[in-house]
Amino acid sequence: MKFIITVTALFFLFVSHSFSQEIFPPDPIKKLVRATKIDGNIKIDGQLNEPEWLLAVPIKDFIEQDPIQGIPAKKKTSVRLLYNKTYLYMGVICYDTVGKNNYRLLNLQRDFSASNADFFAIAIDGYNDERNCVMFGMNPYGAQRDLLSFDDNYYDPDWDGLWTVRTQRTDTAWIAEVAIPWKTLRYKNIADSLQTWGLSFGRTARGSNEISGWPAFPRAFGGLRMPYAGKLVDIQAPKPSTNIRLQPYVLDANNATIQDGKTLSSNNVFKAGGDVKWAINPNTLLDLTFNTDFAQADIDRVVNNTNRFSVFYPEKRQFFLENAGLFTVGMDPLSNGQSDYSARIQPFFSRAIGLDANGSPLTIDGGARLVYRSDKMNIGGLFIRQEGNAITNSTNFFVGRYSQNLGQQNRIGALLSVKDGDAGSLTGSRNFTGTVDGFFRFNQGMSESFMISTTNDSKSHTGYAAASQLYYNTNTLVAWLNESIVTEKYDPQMGFVARGNTIVTDPGFLYQERGNWLPKFVRTFSPGFSFTTYHNATTQKLTDRYININPVTFQFQNGGLLSWYVIVAKQNLDDAFSLLNVPISKGTYSYTRHKITLNSDPSTRFSIALTGDLGQFYNGAYNSLNTTLSYAPSPYFFISPSIEYGRLTNVGTNMVSKDVTLYTLEGRIALNPRVQLSGLFQKTNVTNTIGYNARFSWEFQPLSYFYVVFNNNSISQDNSLTRVIKTTDRQVITKISYLKQF
């Protein structure tokens, strides 16, 4: 292991010297722009026909990032900025000759995939600290995408700001007209004074797959790396005033459990609650929630798990998504996507809140979150009160977070979480987790992240975890060295740990070649390699070893992909376990697997993605093919069926041979970005479950919604009397939430 680490460290020194010239440094002489102050209001309709727009100086001269870094963008873009006492306005003209009905976009959902759509975005650094920014993005049909970014390293992609955009499409361009309230932005509290903000723009012209921006950015980074941004100067923003958002809701839910056609139980629930968001000052935000509800949250995707550790399901509940980046501490050394074998350590993970020991939802009575951000430090606190049920006690959760900015792009911080498993009871169980973490960006290409964490519970069990990630990223090379350790008694009950009692070492690299020898339809040839080992933290014994070889990855000019991975695995199992309902005995297993992926251009009206996973598997074989089709004749209609079919042959203790299937169908119908009907169907024979979910949403004014949600989940179980019992849980929910900003 020491040999691997030494060789990898020398490799980092070599590549840092060899490839550093590809990443040009931020220009010390910043590009400057001004917004024009006006007295009246602009009608947001995508027309740009008000005379005030002629007063603004257009911002042009976008520079191509991809495929050819540094040349003038082929697709021209023009941006104008206006402002008054209420709004910052932006008018954008994205010139293109593809035709008004041929802009690329799969659907109209909020926070759509920017990589598969025609897209324009503005990033604003209101504190002018060249570290943090807020991004507002849109596509030719007026769908919105927004996020918060911190050091271009942590992100809050599920933050939803209050702002408005309308668009128009012609045969020569698409046009966006945007109004961002000052109350949505965060900036210094300087009354009656001119301010300077960081500012950048980014555009994707998906037909030619060209990415461009203003000012110039290296291809390895996006437009959120704010040291490269230009400056919006002489902006006279109003002094921040009272900024309170109230969002009450009312909900009616009908729940029923049906078994073999007979209703076992049925009830109707009326519920009311809501959230309050108070921007106490430009740096401090207080969120309050009462009788919290997540009826409209997306449901989890079913996964046929082919490794022996837990699947990580991301958070999807809106209250916990906002400002999640501040509380996100930990490591996910995942071989940069080359391997399916994860070593995720996350001391705090909000999905531990609101679920009982069996994963069933629990009522959240309420909670509060206080966040303070400045150019020097970030402070956060979260408190949640959760009700109990027959198997889980009522519980209080507390999380505290502090991080201190150091120098230009470095920080160090601490996180404390406390779970009181029986709120107010002297006999209740408690769990404490304390973590120290840091991030250091040595230059624009190389960074280091680390964390050290400890847990203690009411039984005085103490455990430890630590992780380090050295990461190097240029236009040509991505390289990493991940190290982590989790001791046997490390137990963050408000967090997530993929593997306990383990030591992980994971060096690797990914080379990105764009030589003239490549065919014109290929943009990048990206071979890679990683070597991942797992050792038992107590005995130091090797438990897993994975050699991940990626001899072929071709990224095509149109966004398609062809890749081939070879995974040479060795596992020393001290305990038996079950995989896909197949028992696996303890012992030593060595096998080689191949993973081949072929994706067509995912932005076209019809696309296909194929993934074949085949080879030896626990003394037998497992071969699978996952086929996903996507059909979007227009952004108003989208449907995507997927079939995963696998065949186990002579696998495990009992030499089992059987088929493994997973069927998925998702779709979306939209009248516009504000009125949509979406649905998801999932069926798997691993757990004999079938699930349907349908959701109608109407955003009748910005961030105010009317929902109708239908959930139907069935499971078929053999009662050992040669009879299959089918149990169905059915739910119909109607919900109205209304946002009022003061």
What does the block give as tokens for 332?
A: 């996910």
For 558, residues 6+ apart whose C-beta sits below 8 A from its C-beta are 209, 521, 601
Q: Which amino acid is at 190?
A: I
Is residue 229 scored above 50 in pLDDT?
yes
pLDDT-derived band at 23 (thresholds 50, 70, 90) equals: confident
Strands 577-579 and 561-573: unpaired
Range 114-131 average pLDDT: 91
pLDDT-derived band at 21 (thresholds 50, 70, 90) equals: very low
154 or 17, which is more confident: 154
9 or 739, which is more confident: 739
| Digit-coded pLDDT (tens) for 335-376 | 555 455 567 888 998 888 887 766 677 888 889 999 998 878
Element (H, E) at 168: strand 164-169
pLDDT-derived band at 728 (thresholds 50, 70, 90) equals: confident
What does the block give as tokens for 53?
A: 């727009």
Q: Which domains does the chain have, with CATH numbers?
A: 31-235 (2.60.40.1190)
Is residue 16 scored above 60 in pLDDT?
no
What is the reported pLDDT for 115?
A: 85
What is the reported pLDDT for 192?
A: 62
Taking the C-alpha atoms of residue 137 and residue 202, their distance in angstroms, rounded to an integer, is 9
Q: Which of 11-20, 35-44, 391-400 has the lowest mean pLDDT?
A: 11-20
Nearest residue to 447 (alpha-carbon basis) of 470, 466, 467, 468 = 470
Q: Which of 318-322, 368-372, 499-503 has the lowest mean pLDDT?
A: 318-322
Is residue 331 scored above 80 in pLDDT?
no
What is the reported pLDDT for 8?
A: 47
Looking at the chain, the whole-number percentage of residues with pLDDT higher than 90 is 56
pLDDT-derived band at 20 (thresholds 50, 70, 90) equals: very low
Terminal C-alpha separation, the chain: 59
241 or 734, which is more confident: 734
Burial class of residue 133 in the structure, from the number of CB atoms within 10 Å of its CB (0-12 exposed, 13-18 middle, 19+ buried): buried
Is residue 9 scored above 60 in pLDDT?
no
What is the reported pLDDT for 362?
A: 82
pLDDT-derived band at 624 (thresholds 50, 70, 90) equals: very high
Taking the C-alpha atoms of residue 576 and residue 579, their distance in angstroms, rounded to an integer, is 10
Provide the mean pLDDT of the chain.
Answer: 88
What is the reported pLDDT for 736?
A: 94
Taking the C-alpha atoms of residue 538 and residue 287, their distance in angstroms, rounded to an integer, is 43
Is residue 403 scored above 60 in pLDDT?
yes
Range 203-231 average pLDDT: 92
Taking the C-alpha atoms of residue 503 and residue 315, their distance in angstroms, rounded to an integer, is 26
Range 303-321 average pLDDT: 80
Taking the C-alpha atoms of residue 655 and residue 444, their distance in angstroms, rounded to an integer, is 52
DSSP 584-648: E-SEEEEEEEEEEEEE--TTSSEEEEEEEEEEEETTEEEEEEEEEEEEEEETTEEEEEEEEEEEE
Taking the C-alpha atoms of residue 296 and residue 711, their distance in angstroms, rounded to an integer, is 11
Taking the C-alpha atoms of residue 147 and residue 202, their distance in angstroms, rounded to an integer, is 14
Rounded to the nearest 10°, the torsion over CA 281, 285, 286, 287 is 140
